[in-house]
């Protein structure tokens, strides 16, 4: 295996765990933190809240990955013009949208719990009645780690 300098978009706890797993394999890590509050505390850190240092980051790395999916897809596409990114921009676009995820899973025959896509409280109440409560209502985008979710114990809670 050829050691690489892996660029990580994000510099939080998941990036830290990624680096800790990769160091024994001979890899090095450079983190691009856009929050101004990196917490990885490991590897080379480029703190760039104003998005001024992307070129410097790309000059240092062989490949790029990310520690979380809440990144601008356009940023990932821009990086793909210069370096390999794993997973790529199409993957991040799909995982940022629960409807696209479910559609992909359905197309690939990957089992999922029964679900309905709704656009109003009335549709949500009807879906809850059809599926049977309790149901978990989830936002289409921006949800993670339990955020953007609500448990309905009765259709009337829609």
By residue range, what is the domain housing residue 88?
5-95
Looking at the predicted structure, is the pLDDT value of residue 156 above 80?
yes
| Token pair 């990580």: residue | 8
For the chain, the domain total comes to 2
- Residue 15 CB burial class (10 angstroms; 0-12, 13-18, ≥19): buried
Question: Quick check: is 28 in a domain?
Answer: yes
pLDDT at 70: 84
Are 90 and 141 found together in one domain? no
33 within some domain: yes
pLDDT at 1 over 70: no
Q: Using the CB atoms, write b or e for 38-69: b if 16+ within 10 Å.
A: bebebbebbebeeeeebeebbeebeebbbbee
Could you tell me if residue 66 is inside a domain?
yes
On whether residue 51 sits in a domain, the answer given is yes
DSSP states of 42-65: SSEEEE-TTS--HHHHHHH-SEEE
Is residue 69 over pLDDT 90?
Answer: no
Residue 90 lies in a domain: yes
- Let me know if residue 75 belongs to a domain: yes
């Amino acid at each position: 295996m050829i050691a690489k300098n892996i660029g990580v978009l994000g510099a939080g706890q998941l990036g830290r765990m990624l680096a800790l797993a990769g160091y024994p394999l001979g890899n090095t890590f450079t983190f691009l933190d856009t929050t101004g509050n990196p917490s990885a505390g490991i590897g080379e850190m480029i703190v760039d809240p104003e998005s001024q240092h992307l070129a410097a980051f790309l000059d240092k790395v062989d490949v790029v990955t990310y520690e979380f999916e809440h990144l601008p897809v356009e940023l990932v596409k821009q990086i793909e013009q210069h370096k390999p990114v794993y997973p790529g921009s199409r993957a991040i676009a799909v995982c940022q949208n629960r409807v696209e995820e479910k559609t992909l899973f359905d197309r690939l025959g990957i089992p999922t719990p029964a679900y309905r896509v709704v656009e109003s409280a009335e549709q949500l109440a009807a879906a809850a009645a059809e599926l049977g409560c309790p149901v978990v209502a989830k936002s289409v985008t921006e949800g993670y780690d339990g955020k953007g979710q609500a448990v309905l114990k009765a259709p009337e809670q829609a």
